[in-house]
Amino acid sequence: MERRLPPQYEGWQKHEAAFRRMTTPELVNEVQDGSPERRLAALSVIDLSEVDPGIIEDWIRNLPDAEANELAGAIPAQRPHATCADDLRWVEVARLGYERRRLPTFLVMLFSSLEAMDARGCPEAGKAWELIGDWLAELYDKLADAGEFEALDDISLFVFENYLDRQPIFLAFCDLLSRHERLALQVSTNPAQLLGDLPPDLQRTALIEAERGGGLSFLQAWEALNNY
């Protein structure tokens, strides 16, 4: 499906073939100084592992949304020959990107990088998941306080629907259920959406926390889940 982009990016694909032959410094220059469609094309082919971290952080802060989204997609998650340190770097870049820009692509790449650490057997993986679980709970609180409901729904869609089987994410989720009525109601009125693939003990734990947070009673939600 063709992406819908603002008119200034029309024709960006025509640059890709030539840009693939450029060096990373040349591509960085295109992102820094090129026209919009050339910037987007450069971001679509650049190897971010060769770009200075300070430059990437500057791009996260300042690129227009379409280009920041392309930047997020360029995060080299799950590369077969990357190191654990590389994966940990991309976790941090994606976390920073989502904090700054609220683009779901950064969330996707963050968790892809965490999965890559698991697949590589990185000793840092467990701690990284714990840190992201804590970060997620704090971020959710901030978004809720600010009324950023679209971002809250993105977290449900891209994180809770996929990673509640990871203990740090499940613990953060239960903590949020006990404190956020909107989430508690969403989960308890349609428990199968997020809880359907979890084992029964975790389902019960989540629904008890949802009741505590202002959702439907545990018995109502449990019946709805088991009659789904």
Is this prediction's pTM over 0.75?
Answer: yes
Domain boundaries, the chain: 1-74, 78-177, 180-228
> Can you spell out the DSSP letters for 98-130?
HHHH--HHHHHHHHHHHHHHHHHT-TTHHHHHH
Write down the pLDDT at residue 80: 83
Q: Which residues of the chain have pLDDT under 50?
A: 1
Helix (H, G, I), strand (E, B) or coil at 104: helix
- Owner of token pair 């959406």: 193
pLDDT in tens, 47-70: 999 999 999 999 999 999 999 999
Distance CA 95, CA 93 (A): 5
Q: At what angle do helices 84-101 and 53-62 cross, to 10 degrees?
A: 20
CB neighbour class for 203 (10 Å; exposed up to 12, middle 13-18, buried from 19): buried
Element (H, E) at 49: none
CB count within 10 Å of CB 166 equals 20
Task: Tell whether the torsion through CA atoms of 181, 186, 191 and 194 is positive or negative.
Answer: negative
What pLDDT shows up at residue 3?
62
